[in-house]
Amino acid sequence: MSNASDRDPRSANAAAPVGSVDTALRHTARLLSTDPTLAAEQAAEVLRVAPNHPLAFAYLGEARRALADSAGAIAALRRAVALQPNLVDAWRTLGDLLFESGDTAGADAAYARQIQAATQDPRLLAPAAALCANDVPRAEALLRAHLKRHPTDVAAIRMLAEVAARLRRYRDAATLLERCLELNPSFDEARQQYALVLHRQNDEAAALRQIDALLAKDPHNPGYRNLQAAILVRLGDVTQSIEIYDELLARHPALPKIWMSYGHALKTGGRETDSAAAYRRSVALRPSLGEAYWSLANLKTVRFAPTEIAAMRAQLARADLADEDRFHLHFALGKALEDTGDYAESFTQYAAGNRVRRAALRYSAEELSDHVRRSKRLFTAEFFAARRGFGCAAPDPIFVVGLPRAGSTLIEQILSSHSAIEGTMELPDIPALARPFYGKRDGDPGYPEALAALDADACRALGERYLEQTRIQRRRGAPYFVDKLPNNFVHLGLIHLALPNAKIIDARRHPLGCCFSCFKQHFARGQGFTYDLTDLGRYYHDYVELMAHFDAVLPGRVHRVHYERLIEDTEGEVRRLLAYLGLPFEAGTLRFYETERAVRTASAQQVRQPIYRAGLEQWRHYEPWLDPLKRALGPVLAAYPATPSF
């Protein structure tokens, strides 16, 4: 093998002839960062001489990844780790590629093998093996025992963070990863995991700081760039997010999950046609990707072609289809058949998707019922009278609460069309404020009872913290802003204590129309009550009961907007709404569909059109199958006004 001085002086990067395999591989490693095409050629030359050399396959995989040949990279890396299972970098890159391609289960397995390969301490082999086998309880027990003896072992701390993340204990995972990075600031894999955990906790500003640190070292890493773009969408910076996806897909055009994420960003930015094209590109690259089909259906304006319906049926017929793809396809097919008027088969598909989704959730309807009972006991008129003057006096927030699919996005879009009001999104900040009060130990008062101990200063601090945390969402500088997280109705007591001058709007819709619209909607996260008709009925019933209680103890505090009224008498309802807010009427609020802003909810495309009545009675097509919902709603159904002119 010639050394560097023997190579053709016309090309410092020229591929070296294979004489010494080790020398050739060192040359290949150098080429990876400067000329991946030559690196691939050099690795292939090594493999002609040594056809089972694991490092040559690993370098070939890295080079093919840099050349945007994802399939070739995955094949080479799989061969590398099959030949030598302790190749840490190969496992990590393989995990990144599988994640980008949409194979999340394969990516998890590869990352677990990376941890196992990186673990030189034989005492961590057993927990690493448990993680690889997804035996999470055993992995957790072994890791906790090890860390009692070796509390600064960063490999073990990161593994325990992976356990916490798999259990969706994201706050615990974040704490562990913070400790990891405190001990080893250059641990990039831990930093990437930390950014993802922060993103899942909706702490976007903090997540973005971690991604920026990673990108400073590796500016074109597709995993980092994808997460950066997703965070920017959540922060409302859709234009920059789309630019990142444009650049990312130019480098890596064969990544179906990235195309789908690109479609989400385009949808949020109001580019419906481009969004649909991106989703269809995702499906073309991976025909089993159910979430891409559902994303198309969730545009609400797309009609599937017969060939697409047939393709969805063919995927559902597969025995090896992952549950996540299966339930998404059922929801998408339900929407496709609804559009054709085949309501019986449409309901069958919706019900099937809900069954698969519900089976994976640990949701208890009794938890909300219990919360309502306890809230009614605590939050009396006397309770609030004794705390008059508590909280932060700022009037900035306008909370829109209720159930999903009740018209909250339409209300937000109307309000955002007023010069004094800025629309944001479904902000996670009120639930985050409530979380510490739930209690972790026996004897803790729990939530909401723990709020009784707050004095005036503590309530004011909560309100100020909310305003500070949400400041990043306020880009226009308008005096008021909308927080439209529907589930915030469970936190009205906290909102009133922390922000007594904030406005609260209850978006309400006919119980059957609202609940069935939820039933046929797959939500990306949360809303576990929507996947069963009985659960839905109980949730709506409990919501009405709690709102009635606050109407009684805080008269006039909440302004109610009935969706049916808003559709039938838009101007009248908008005038009443603005009067409640203490703002003058502006004609632009009636042309809300002309307002350009990012909208991330399921109604994104609908609120970019003028008011229409088509969806009001859609649930009646499905009434023969709604008896479980009617029984669970009970007297709430009978009490709802029969016509929109109430």
426-475 pLDDT, tens per residue?
A: 888 999 899 889 876 777 889 999 999 999 999 999 999 999 989 988 88
pLDDT value at residue 27: 83
pLDDT value at residue 612: 58
pLDDT value at residue 14: 40
CA torsion through residues 355, 356, 359, 364, sign: negative
Those residues of the chain that have pLDDT short of 70 are 1-19, 104, 108, 112, 115-116, 118-121, 440, 595-615, 641-646
Cα–Cα distance list, 310 to 280, 307, 472 (Å)? 15, 5, 45
pTM listed for this prediction = 0.75
397 beta partners:
481
Contact 592, 418 (CB under 8 A): no
Helix 290-297 to helix 256-268 angle (10° resolution) is: 20
**Dist. CA 308–CA 392, nearest whole Å:** 54
**Domains of the chain, with CATH numbers?**
4-118 (1.25.40.10), 167-172+186-359 (1.25.40.10), 366-639 (3.40.50.300)
Cα–Cα distance list, 245 to 259, 261, 293 (Å)? 8, 8, 20
**Dist. CA 202–CA 65, nearest whole Å:** 30
CA torsion through residues 49, 50, 52, 57, sign: negative
**Dist. CA 593–CA 610, nearest whole Å:** 6
**Dist. CA 369–CA 70, nearest whole Å:** 49
pLDDT value at residue 205: 87
- Three-class SS string for 466-512? HHHHHHHHCCCCCCEEEECCHHHHHHHHHHHHHCCCCEEEEEECCHH
**Dist. CA 308–CA 305, nearest whole Å:** 5
pLDDT value at residue 116: 67
592-609 pLDDT, tens per residue?
A: 777 664 444 444 445 445
**Dist. CA 226–CA 204, nearest whole Å:** 14
